[in-house]
Amino acid sequence: MAPDSAAAKVAGGTVNPTIVRRPPGNPALLPTHWPALLRRVYAARGIQSAAELDPALSGLLKPSMRGMTEAVALLEHAILNDNRILIVGDFDADGATSCAVAVRGLRRLGARRVDYLVPNRFEYGYGLTPEIVAVAAEDSPQLLITVDNGIASIDGVAAARAEGMKVIVTDHHLPGTELPAAEAIVNPNQPDCGFPSKNLAGVGVMFYLLLALRAARRARGMATPNLAELLDTVALGTVADLVPLDQNNRILVEQGLRRIRSGQCSAGIRALAAVAGRDLNRLTCADIGFALAPRLNAAGRLQDMSIGIECLLTDDPGHAQRLATVLDELNRTRRAVEADMRQQAEEYVENFADSAGKTPFGICVHRSGWHPGVVGIVAARLKERFHRPAVVFAGDGTELKGSARSIPGLHMRDLLADIASGAPDLITRFGGHAMAAGLTLPASHLERFTTQFDEAVRKRLSAGELERTLVTDGPLAASEFDLETAERLRIAGPWGQAFPEPSFDNEFELVSARPVGEGHLKLRLRLLEDGSVVDAIAFNHDAPENELSPGAKLRVIYRLEVNRYRGISMPQLNVAHLEPVAVSGGAAGGRADTGDGESV
């Protein structure tokens, strides 16, 4: 199979990981009545007091973002005058949840004429474009509010104001050198915004605007609703968008999870959990990230995100279930499309080299016929497998749409900004975060972009930074491989981006291994420490058979989880990595160190 262009000619293979143990922190600062393992895990994540883990809503930061006063005034005027308010969303899970929170919250706060519009990515592209403004103008809204987009919509905001609309931009993406001329911009990442947390997702920003609006109405003695009712949806969007779970975001997510587990959640979230086969009473961030969010995202990737938004907005359980079933079917299709694209992309990376026969530091691939809604997932898969920044493009005409994913140490949006600054004609438009970004460029510019992307990555990353690293919390003691410990770890979160779920490493003897499902392995492992046997599952694992013969000594990186099957709960290891242990006792396939220079 030949690539479509030299841009796809990259080489490489699965990166062999270095195993690093987290610096221990200071467990002595945490309450002594806490279990020792939890103190160790929390301390390794920088927690220095119990207050940092307090999930009470009273600990939320106050709604003090720049632009909040102006935005609240516009909303109060619109509500008082019964103006038509239009929410313009985005086509991913954060955009969908932001839209649902905006519509539900504003209606609860007295707005009677609130509707939403979400661009179809295949017709209008991302954000508030002049084209989507023309569609919005057909409903003659007096106030337009962007959610999870708008900070880069210079032309779109200008077009909306030319149509007589007032505009509030709510966003969390990083701004460019020019801000849109909106009546109000609420974004913790805009210049001169003193809001302490810069990690809010788009849904979090919209939730904070609603908190500020409620506070203003409450100050005038008006009856106000309990906005905690929206936290189930806020939690879904926050986890789905992979923003760092700092203390403020952990409160939002934990409170949302508590509402979900207690059954106080929207019909849509309940239906999404049902079609995904997840227990609502035990839902975790992992369930949101790996089960609910992909189904919600599938609508925007393959069809129209309005299906997902309607699922989150409806209060009819039957209608929610029907919509969730459609989302589940779309997700199955998405998985099949992704599998095909991923295989083709990985073959490019494995079989082709640049002119010097070396793997580029930055991977850039394109193939005619690829689905533009799935390129982001494929870029993430390439980044994970080869531990290199990756850009995947789709498009068969004169313009290509790409999605980029980065690795730690490289800020993707800043890198694209530098490329665009040095070659203003190269990229048509771009935007995003440190770890993910989107861009478009003329098809004729692909090879030039590929070269400049690789050169820009080389300037920022050393060869050593392209080595994949697995970070663990060290070994578990033999006494800790039990259901009580697994349950304790499950509820000790919420775990997520920048506050990772605990993983551990121990040496085992393989008792047995058998394939299950599509490319997974069911394992029985004997702990070398005391000979006890534990069950394990390795998802999407392709280890050579000679590494998995009974009796083989293995170093295993894993998470201790609860496996529930037919009403019975048992501890199970979720394997992230395994490799043979050399006779000397060291790791044969990778290198391991403690994070302070000592080998383990």
- Residue by residue, DSSP assigns 211-277 as HHHHHHHHHTT-----GGGGHHHHHHHHHHTT----HHHHHHHHHHHHHHHTT-S-HHHHHHHHHTT
Please give the C-alpha separations between residue 518 and each of 204, 521, 522, 538, 540, in angstroms, as whole numbers.
Answer: 36, 9, 12, 11, 8
Closest CA to 195 of 57, 69, 60, 64: 64
Going through 285-435 in order, the beta strands assigned E by DSSP cover 363-366, 390-394, 399-405, 429-432
Phi/psi at 312 (5° precision):
-80, -20
List, for the chain, all residue ranges whose pLDDT scores fall below the cut of 50.
1-15, 584-600
Domain boundaries, the chain: 18-46+470-593, 57-224, 352-466
Token couple for 232: 């189930």
* Total residue length of the chain: 600
Phi/psi at 120 (5° precision):
-80, 120
pLDDT (0 to 100) of residue 547:
67
pLDDT (0 to 100) of residue 467:
87
For the chain, helix (H) and strand (E) counts, in that order, are 17, 18
* CA 377 – CA 293 distance, rounded (Å): 13
* CA 52 – CA 49 distance, rounded (Å): 6
Question: In terms of DSSP bridges, do strands 520-527 and 533-538 run parallel, antiparallel, or are they unpaired?
Answer: antiparallel
Going through 295-454 in order, the beta strands assigned E by DSSP cover 363-366, 390-394, 399-405, 429-432, 436-442
CATH numeric code, 352-466: 3.10.310.30
* CA 39 – CA 267 distance, rounded (Å): 37
pLDDT (0 to 100) of residue 91:
85
* CA 483 – CA 476 distance, rounded (Å): 13
pLDDT (0 to 100) of residue 589:
44
CATH numeric code, 57-224: 3.90.1640.30
pLDDT (0 to 100) of residue 581:
87
One-letter amino acid for residue 50 of the chain: A
Paired residues of 568 in beta bridges: 565
Q: Coil, strand or helix: which one is 25?
A: coil
Q: Coil, strand or helix: which one is 186?
A: strand
pLDDT (0 to 100) of residue 464:
86
Q: What angle do CA 16, 19, 24 make, to 5 degrees?
A: 165
Residues 6+ apart with CB under 8 A from 492: 38, 41, 42
Token couple for 222: 């008006």
In CATH terms, are 18-46+470-593 and 57-224 the same topology? no
Chain centroid, CA 466 distance in Å: 21
CATH architecture of 18-46+470-593: Beta Barrel (2.40)
Closest CA to 149 of 305, 312, 327, 365: 305
Radius of gyration of the chain (CA): 25
Residues 6+ apart with CB under 8 A from 7: 364, 365, 366, 446, 447, 449, 450
